[in-house]
Structure 1
Amino acid sequence: MTPRTRLPRKVGLVGWAAIGRVVGAALAEHRVPGAALECLVDNRPLGEGAPAPQVTFEEALQRCDLIVEAAGQGVVRAWGERVLTAGADLLIASTGALADEDLAARLLAAGPGRVYFTGGAVGGLDLLQAVRALGPLHTVELTTTKLPGTLEQPWMEKELLTRLRTATGPVEVMTGTARDVPTRFPRSTNVAASVALAVGDLDAVRVRVVADPAARHTRHVVEASGPHGTYRFDVAHLPDPGNPATSRVVPHAVLRSLAALAGRTGQIL
């Protein structure tokens, strides 16, 4: 039998910051077999050091069959459906945008392109998705702990900002569900939406956001229980030095997802 040959996926990378730079460099150095960096999209001039041509979003749709979002929830809302209806696949890093159920439904229904989500900074989502097939979980709780400065938001009242800036120990910043927390912390709580995607219910995931001035690592603790078992995932990551709101591991999670989409064998699916 003649081995099947696959054409490389032509990748358009949206976003050239903490996540995009790592992903783009790996693609440019051909470290993801079956995927080639075709172009970059960003709202700032990237200059001559960029590893691929900087183009408009419309041109990227014409040139690429896979768009990788590494630029924030706003890009998912503005461009997600257009990518899919144009026939390209879409890999989303900013899963917090999916706290908008209407948007999530539209993306899942759109085509002929296919939408995918990276797990980012949390593990165990594949297992939670498998358990979900057995029936609803009774409880799903997520506690996210980060440095106070990464959690400051324009909507915060002066009293809360003062507590964050003067904290000498852990401070509970917000509790809620995966429906409302990602909208309040658009750059810091994509994990909440990722957990909700895995269990299939935004309201079932209770989220607690904690600021800790001693948090050398960003920590996510997922605890779930149901009729078929109990589950706990506790991860602690070094923050990205260029953007402490995200973890250093996130772009590598994107690259793992890219490798799977490009057809790399040996992947754990």
Structure 2
Amino acid sequence: MNPTPLKVGLVGWGAIGRVVGTALAAGDIPGARLHCVVDNRPLGDATPAEQVPFENAIDACDVIVEAAGQGVVRAWGERVLTAGTDLLVASTGALTDEDLAKRLLAAGPGRVYFTGGAIGGLDLLQAVRALGPLHDVRLTTTKLPGTLEQPWMDEELLHRLRTATVPVEVLAGTARDIPVRFPRSTNVAASVALAVGDLDAVRVRVVADPAAVRTRHVVEASGPHGAYRFEVAHTPDADNPATSTVVPYAVLRSLGAIAGRPGQIL
């Protein structure tokens, strides 16, 4: 455990950030405390810590937590790391840009971390990867139709989503393609690819289901060393159904590990 708590700068006061920031301010993560909040909206007294410009947060904090979307990672990730501040990324979909991923991993002296978010089993997939490549990796993500609507969709697809009475496949592709098309809904695809080490090896199906009370992710992977299957079903966040209620708690768990909280499974 760090003798001096890590000063955490939180970027984004939305569905994820509010939970993370409130828990940090309450002292729920030993070894880490909320120092400031960054958001492009004036928040007034809504936050338990001072709202500051991004540059100020980088200078003042030990760790920046991104909880505001892929654009933040693209615009600020390298600047955080080259300033010597650590970065915890929630919007892993930004890493489908391989050039950005390489630059972040090479930047420093700050260290970059990624939270697993709404999916489990990534630690095991990383371990198996050391034995050799996984030849067949599939992810099926099922969500409510309204959470999947995107500006690029044509009227025919939007009509299918809005009138669906049974599950509808919205798009299929690789982990390189899908998070770009659904920037707020499919970070899980990028997280699986990070664990496997190959964006093109992960085949992804996005399914809209009007009866999806829970958001479901099914990962199936196999190779010469074994076969693996992980399935999770999460309650969507009430304020932002595109994300799951568990995501901010995954961020808090990751912060606990960075801060040296004992008892963590690493």
Give the TM interval when normalised to the shorter protein.
over 0.9
Pairing 1:137–2:134 present: yes
Shift of 1:49: 2.6
Q: Distance between the aligned counterparts of 1:50 and 1:129, measured in 2?
A: 37
**Matched-pair contact (CA < 8 Å) for 2:2–2:31:** no
Cα distance per residue 1:164-213 (max 9 Å; x no partner): 00000100000000000000000000000000000000000000000000
Aligned residue for 1:203, secondary structure, equals: helix
Q: Distance between the aligned counterparts of 2:259 and 2:43, measured in 1?
A: 26
Q: 1:139-178 maps to which residues of 2 (within 5 A)?
A: 139-178=136-175
- Counterpart selection for 2:193 from 196, 214, 220: 196
Q: Distance between the aligned counterparts of 2:192 and 2:261, measured in 1?
A: 25
Q: Which residue of 1 aligns with 2:93?
A: 96
Q: Which residue of 2 aligns with 1:49?
A: 46
Cα distance per residue 1:33-72 (max 9 Å; x no partner): 0001000000001111310000000100111010000000
**Matched-pair contact (CA < 8 Å) for 2:2–2:260:** no
Q: Percent identity?
A: 81
Shift of 1:5: 5.5
Shift of 1:84: 0.1
Q: Which runs of 5+ in 2 are unaligned?
A: none
Q: Which residue of 1 aligns with 2:56?
A: 59
Q: Distance between the aligned counterparts of 2:214 and 2:250, measured in 1?
A: 17
Q: Which residue of 2 aligns with 1:181?
A: 178
Q: Distance between the aligned counterparts of 1:250 and 1:198, measured in 2?
A: 18
Aligned residue for 1:141, secondary structure, equals: strand
Q: Which residue of 1 aligns with 2:71?
A: 74
Q: Distance between the aligned counterparts of 2:263 and 2:16, measured in 1?
A: 24
Q: Which runs of 5+ in 1 are unaligned?
A: none
Q: Which residue of 2 aligns with 1:86?
A: 83
Runs of 4+ in structure 1 off by over 4 angstroms are: none
Superposition RMSD in Å:
0.7
How many equivalent pairs are there?
A: 266
Q: Which residue of 2 aligns with 1:113?
A: 110
Cα distance per residue 1:205-259 (max 9 Å; x no partner): 0000000000000000000000010000000000000000000000000000000
Q: Distance between the aligned counterparts of 2:194 and 2:76, measured in 1?
A: 20
TM score, norm. by length of structure 2 = 0.99
Q: Distance between the aligned counterparts of 1:122 and 1:66, measured in 2?
A: 23
Aligned residue for 1:255, secondary structure, equals: helix
Q: Distance between the aligned counterparts of 1:44 and 1:268, measured in 2?
A: 36
Q: Distance between the aligned counterparts of 2:145 and 2:87, measured in 1?
A: 32
Paired AA for residue 148 in structure 1: P
Q: Which residue of 1 aligns with 2:16?
A: 19
Aligned residue for 2:245, secondary structure, equals: coil
